[in-house]
Structure 1
């Protein structure tokens, strides 16, 4: 159970701003204004009892609820990850590409458009239904990132977008990516920055009764990726944070 209190969130943001002032990024006027805001927030009676209790939702159940509106409702994350993935895969030769945690097939369609033979894997049957309608010529499979239903040394490219924030540990997933990639293959990962997770960018879904829930969100620091990639013999060619 998550205890989501708007006042706690606002005070946390004010705290981050005050820390920036403390190290000299902001002047005295800014710091005094933030302290005054904190006092007003603490005195606001509407914020005092505004907390809600939100349950964690299993990703399969969460994406079942989200699948009906996933493509139609605005999703600001797409504006960040899709252009970045497109730029990276543009110069790569066509081959067999795995869209890991493919969802409704956004990256799968991009890969197919570049001439790749696409395999898509996702843990949500409901999301896969949408993906198959979007790209009927692709091979979509139900599976887990930690146990991919793909043979060893089978693909030339793995793309994984907006998914690793849902897994508690990177190592089992990176091990699977290494297993299914052919020697010399490429891995492209696009995900939310850990600071966005810290500031609450964790997807909210609602159950059939309208009660709010949160998909699991794990804050993997940018530096957490490098040692795991070295263990599985990946060579880091680019990193943007």
Structure 2
């Protein structure tokens, strides 16, 4: 498991743009692009090195603080929602209605899907601010302040956990807790940002109480990390999907405000970004059974 640097990080636009150039050139080296593409990348690197944008010192905050800051804007448009909600819905509606526990339920976005599939939903989150919003969304739902390693007593028929495990340093205790509360024959659905995206710095940005920039501390769990945690908890993988976002045109652009990094930084090197990201999954989606 690769863990992000704790404490402060120094984010510089050129560090990201040159990283994209490097990934694109590596793909060229193995034969995906031609001589002209390589020449363009090298020329672009020289141009970028001649520029001098400013970097930003960014604090990596824990999930409780981060979620509290993120709660008011969490439901803003997010491409990840286009992947996890249909996946959760497919599994939840396939199962007979029962009790579904939405672990790290946030604002109740996934819990609402579970309720629409006929399940009685129990939501758990460490952020009171998130739970307050979830309560407004599902006033008849049951909610608890809690952690992923201390869930309410089961048994439940389905456990869902979306966009949360990248913020957990060790998956083992979490999967053990999922297995503890799960009824025999039950299912666990996990949806996360793909480790390749986490490794590329696609981590939620927040402004701290004093206005200083921060990111929710994130961890790069490889596919094997999920499997090892599941096997240790006696959960059997039933399905794994790694969807790729549809390619889009990236216009040349300035870095933009820090809150839009790293996504806006793609405009510094559009062709390199397109080449570096081609075919890279956006999410990793799991269904487990016990």
In 2: Cα distance, 1:125 partner to 1:76 partner: 25
Q: Find the partner of 2:40 among 12, 26, 33.
A: 33
In the other structure, the counterpart of 2:115 is 112
User: Secondary structure of the residue that 2:121 maps to in structure 1?
Assistant: strand
In 2: Cα distance, 1:108 partner to 1:23 partner: 44
Report which of the two has the higher share of strand.
2
In the other structure, the counterpart of 2:180 is 179
1:29 shift after superposition:
1.1
In the other structure, the counterpart of 1:190 is 191
In the other structure, the counterpart of 1:15 is 22
In 2: Cα distance, 1:37 partner to 1:84 partner: 40
In the other structure, the counterpart of 1:24 is 31
Q: How many residues align?
A: 235
1:89 shift after superposition:
2.1
Bigger drift between 91-100 and 222-231 goes to 222-231
In 1: Cα distance, 2:116 partner to 2:92 partner: 11
In the other structure, the counterpart of 1:218 is 219
1:223 shift after superposition:
2.2
1:21 shift after superposition:
0.5
Bigger drift between 88-97 and 180-189 goes to 88-97
For the 8 Å contact 2:206–2:214, the answer to whether it is kept is yes
Q: Find the partner of 2:67 among 63, 67, 71.
A: 63
For the 8 Å contact 2:88–2:113, the answer to whether it is kept is no
In 2: Cα distance, 1:120 partner to 1:136 partner: 12
User: Secondary structure of the residue that 1:67 maps to in structure 2?
Assistant: helix
Q: Deviations over 1:138-169 (max 9, x none)?
A: 11000010111x11x41010000000000001
TM-score by length of 2: 0.79
In 1: Cα distance, 2:47 partner to 2:15 partner: 13
Q: Find the partner of 2:58 among 54, 60, 63.
A: 54
In 2: Cα distance, 1:160 partner to 1:26 partner: 39
TM-score by length of 1: 0.94
User: Secondary structure of the residue that 2:72 maps to in structure 1?
Assistant: coil
Q: Which has the higher contact order (CA 8 A, sep 6+)?
A: 2
User: Secondary structure of the residue that 1:236 maps to in structure 2?
Assistant: strand
Q: Where do 4+ consecutive residues of structure 1 move more than 6 Å? A: none
Instruction: Let me know the Cα RMSD of the aligned residues.
Output: 1.1
In the other structure, the counterpart of 1:235 is 236
